[in-house]
Structures are given as C-alpha cells and as structure tokens.
Amino acid sequence: MESPFNDRGVSVTRNALSAAGQVFPLREILNVRVVTVQKNKILPIALAVIGLAGAIVGGVFRSPAGIVCGIMLAVVGWLTWSTQDVTHRLLVETSSGEREALSSIDLEFVERVAQTVRETMAAAPASGPAAAPQA
C-alpha cells in the first residue's frame, strides 16, 4: 500500500506526510495532535458595543452621521462574529519543534489525517527491521 491516504491535497505515504506544500518525513515525526481554535469573541463584541454606544450618542446629540456610523459599526461586529469559523489544526511535533501541518473547518477530516499518520507511524517500525538485509 503505497499511499494509505490522499484527499484534499493532503497525502500520507509510508514515508511522509505532505500537506499545504510541506513535507514531514514520518521518521522525524514524534507526535501529532489536533487542536480546535474557537471563534474570536473579543473583536466582534468590542465592535458591536462601540457601534451601539456610538449610535446611542449620535441619537442623544441628534446626529444622523453618529447614528449611521454607530449602526454600521455594530453591523460589522455582528458580521465579524457570524462569518468566523471554528478551525481545527493538525500540529506535528518533531525534534525541531511543533509546526502546523493542516488547518480545516472539518474536524472529521483532520482527525482522519491524524489517525492515518499514527497508524502509518506504528506500522513503519514493524516493517523496517524485517525488510533490512541480513549480513
């Protein structure tokens, strides 16, 4: 089995993990883990609160420009929140440190890649010594 996994530009062979233009030799990979990055809450909430405050101040001072700018900023805050996705990242740990190999909004896909890498790494030592020539 030459290529146990090849999907969405990510491939795992018995020798390497290739994702996003990066190649990680399996012999150098110590561990892989999946990390979930939640939505950024601070920026959208801050934009919406500042926008609402600006709209209220514009209303108090009877300033149409203040009201419009405040409402627009509040809408930008809401759009910032609604368009963000929870992302899942595959982190590869090597002796030189930890690097991100893959980022996707599809948790099942990232978990499948991680599981394939783990299985391929576990199978590699079993086939390595058996294939070595005897002297």
Q: What is the pTM of this model?
A: 0.74
CA distances from 133 to 1, 26, 47, 114, 125 (A): 21, 22, 66, 31, 15
Examine the domain organization and report whether 126 and 107 are in the same domain: yes
Give residue 84's pLDDT band: very low, low, confident or very high (50, 70, 90). very high
In the predicted structure, residue 133 carries a pLDDT above the cut 80: no
Examine the domain organization and report whether 55 and 78 are in the same domain: yes
Examine the domain organization and report whether 59 and 91 are in the same domain: no
Examine the domain organization and report whether 105 and 73 are in the same domain: no
The total number of structural domains in the chain stands at: 2
Residue 17's CATH number: 2.30.29.30
Average pLDDT in the 78-99 region?
A: 94
pLDDT digits over 89-120, tens only? 999 999 999 999 999 999 999 999 999 999 98
Examine the domain organization and report whether 74 and 106 are in the same domain: no
pLDDT digits over 35-64, tens only? 999 999 999 999 999 999 999 999 999 999
Strands 16-19 and 97-104: unpaired
3-state secondary structure the chain: CCCCEEECCEEECCCEEEECCEEEEHHHEEEEEEEEECCCCHHHHHHHHHHHHHHHHHHHCCCHHHHHHHHHHHHHHHHHHHHCCCEEEEEEEECCEEEEEEEECCHHHHHHHHHHHHHHHHHHHHHHHHHCCCC
Determine the Cα–Cα distance for residues 98 and 63; give it in Å rounded to an integer: 53
Examine the domain organization and report whether 127 and 69 are in the same domain: no
Examine the domain organization and report whether 58 and 116 are in the same domain: no
Per the structure, the complete domain to which residue 32 belongs is given by: 5-38+86-131
Examine the domain organization and report whether 53 and 119 are in the same domain: no
pLDDT given for residue 2 in this prediction: 54
Examine the domain organization and report whether 34 and 93 are in the same domain: yes
Examine the domain organization and report whether 68 and 57 are in the same domain: yes
Spatial strand order of the sheet with 97-104 comes to: 29-37, 87-94, 97-104
* Percent of the chain whose pLDDT exceeds 70: 90
Give residue 66's pLDDT band: very low, low, confident or very high (50, 70, 90). very high
In the predicted structure, residue 135 carries a pLDDT above the cut 60: no
Examine the domain organization and report whether 63 and 121 are in the same domain: no
In the predicted structure, residue 1 carries a pLDDT above the cut 50: no
